Structures are given as C-alpha cells and as structure tokens.
Amino acid sequence: MTNDVLHLTGPVLVGPDEQRDQAWVVGGRLTFERPGATDVTTLDGVVLPGLVDAHCHVGLDAHGAVDEATTQAQALADRDAGALLLRDAGSPADTRWVDGRDDLPRIVRAGRHIARTRRYIRNYADEVEPDQLADAVAVQARRGDGWVKIVGDWIDRETGDLAPCWPLEALRAAMDAAHAAGARVTAHCFSEDSLPDLIAAGIDGIEHGCGLTYDTTLAAAERGVAVVPTLVNIATFPAIADAGEAKFPLYAAHMRDLHTRRYATVRDAYDEGVSIYVGTDAGGSLPHGLVAAEVAELVAAGLPRLAALDAACWGARVWLRRPGLVEGESADLVVYPDDPRDDVGVLAHPRAVVLRGRVV
C-alpha cells in the first residue's frame, strides 16, 4: 500500500497516559491535524508507536556473522512482529546497509561485543585483556550508535562456574572512555558477582541481570542503571544447564537457580524503581520476532500491563533517544485490533505495521 495519506481512526496511544482520538500519515510523517486530501486510506484499530527490541543481534547467528540475506530475514521477522526500533546489542557484522532500506527497522548499534580473551562465544567478540579494555571501548564507541557492549561475566573453566571478566579499575577506565566519546555502556551479566563492580564503575545498562541481589538492585536504582531482562532467553537456562552438567556441574546448578528465581528478580527490580526495558536476545540461538513474547514474560513476572507496554514502546524510545508518535516525525507505528492495555497478548497479532509512513 503506497497511498500518500493514511487515516488512523484510533485511539492513538501517544504515551502511557495520553491518547488521541485519531491521526493521519501524510508524506510518511505523523500528524494530528486533518489534511485536506480526499484520497485517504483508513486504518481502524488501536495505534502504538513501533515496538522496541532493546536487546537483539542483527547480522549474527550461533556461529558468528551472517550474510546479507540472513540479516534481511532477521530484520523482516522483527518488523513483521511490530518491532520497528532495534538496539543491536553486539554484532561482528557491518549492518549499516540496512539504514538505506525503507522497508527494514531502524537499528541503534552497540558495535561489536568486547570480551575477555577466550571468555565468550567464538567469532562474536573483540577479545582483549583488562589493560586493553578502555581502548577497545573507544573503538566500539565510534563503531556504534551511542552504545558499547561488554561481556561482564562468563564461565571460568578453572572454577567451573560463572565469574567476572574485569577488575574494577579496568571497568572505570572503560566507562570513562565511553562517556568521553558520548556513548553509553551496557554489559552482559548472568551472575551475581560481576554486578557490584560494574555498577560502581558507572555502567549505564545491564543485560539479563538475573543475578541481581537486594543490594545490587538498590544500587542500580540509585544510579539509574537500566536492566533489559531478556526473559525469553533466560527460559533456555535449564537446557543450557543440562548441556553443561557433565563438565561443569557448579555452573549447571547456578544456571538453574538463576532461572528458578528469574521472575522474582525482575519484579523486585521493578518494585525498587529500576528501569526495565524489553529485549529478546534474538540472533544468537533465538529467532527474531519475539518482542510480544517478551512483553508477556514481563507481565508473567509481575509487572503491570501498562509498565510492560511502556518497556516496549514509549519509555524504551525515550531511553534510546528516538521519537515515538510525535507530530511531524516519521510514522513508525503498529495498529492492533484490540487494546493491548487490556491484554498484552494482542501484541502478537498486529493488524497493520506502518514503517516510514508506508504499510508494510
């Protein structure tokens, strides 16, 4: 559908506590002023800003970087699920070509993962030692779109369990380097032990965060550290534990424990005032297009429906410094047959997806 003017009958949910009765799309941009055009296509339904997957990996699969055809298929799966703004939380692939495609979601990149030598998945990361971390962060800050991704913990083969990857002083230098370049830093964190130093060093975000304790939850809330829980990924922990049981029984037991208390961890973080955002971790071992499932998981964890929606659209867009349903901005939105404020399951069945003003 390529009509120049779309009429959105609404309600148009411009914020968690604000809605408009209707809106229009003219020349690819959103307006709340009725245009004079007579050739208008009507879209009936409840309108949300394009959803956000704030932790995915475009251009990556379980073995490393993928080709452009696979990258396109990943991006289309997200788009068709209503996720029109993606934060790529680490990828070795150069996906800048996606920016030239009007039919693919917008991507906020974090450059390539930065990991400790031989302490992460093969072919994924720039692997460095602690004295090289700050320089590596500066490089990825230039490569990304305002974000850098480091691996905060991973399995230590000597201890047979998850363990922090970086000493505090290396983390402090890394945060200083990123912030000096105008970038924010987020970190992969499964376990409890990596979180105190990351938070003390000035980290901006935590990915997964299933090892949050009472103390680190309070510290994250006090310092404004956001958490992207990726609950659809944490659901795979029992299978990961089974696969590692024979060689690393401590690690396997730890992963099962993190999985068992995942909902309570997220609910407690929300209750203490930690900002929670939706992310799926798609692109490693998980398929793309899971944004609705992650919102449902946040509700299952105990977040109010409106808070879970905010974590997937309005609040997430503010956090990523990208516009939502704003007069004159690009019309990136999703139309639903029913109100997702009443049932977030509606998100799995969009009636229409509009990207850059075009029904795709």
- pLDDT tens digits, 226-245: 999 999 999 999 999 999 99
Phi and psi for 208 in degrees, rounded to 5?
75, -70
Return the pLDDT at 37: 79
Q: Which residue has the tokens 């209503």?
A: 82
Could you tell me if 155 and 125 are in contact, meaning their C-beta atoms sit under 8 angstroms apart? no
The whole-number average pLDDT for the span 8-30 is: 96
The whole-number average pLDDT for the span 182-203 is: 98
β-partners of residue 206 are 187, 227
Query: Mean pLDDT score of the chain, rounded to an integer?
Result: 97
Six-digit token string for 180: 């000096």
The whole-number average pLDDT for the span 277-295 is: 97
Q: How confident is the model at residue 113 (pLDDT cuts 50, 70, 90)?
A: very high
Six-digit token string for 109: 């990149």
Q: Which residue has the tokens 């790529």?
A: 88
Return the pLDDT at 95: 97
SS3 303: coil
Six-digit token string for 89: 């939380």
- pLDDT tens digits, 36-93: 877 899 999 999 999 999 999 999 999 999 999 999 999 999 999 999 999 999 999 9
Q: Tell the burial category of 33 from Cβ atoms under 10 Å away from its Cβ (0-12, 13-18, 19+).
A: exposed
- Is pLDDT at 2 greater than 70 in this prediction? no
Return the pLDDT at 1: 42
Instruction: Tell how strand 205-208 and strand 161-164 pair up.
Output: unpaired
Domains and CATH numbers, the chain: 5-47+324-359 (2.30.40.10), 51-319 (3.20.20.140)
Q: Kindly give, in sequence order, each residue whose CB lies less than 8 Å from that of residue 272, ignoring residues fewer than 6 positions away.
A: 217, 218, 221
Q: How would you write 187-217 as a 3-class SS string?
A: EEECCCCCHHHHHHHCCCEEEECCCCCHHHH
311, 218, 303: which is closest to 267 by C-alpha? 303
Return the pLDDT at 130: 98
Instruction: Tell how strand 153-156 and strand 161-164 pair up.
Output: antiparallel
Q: Could you tell me where the beta strands, DSSP code E, fall in 190-288?
A: 205-208, 226-228
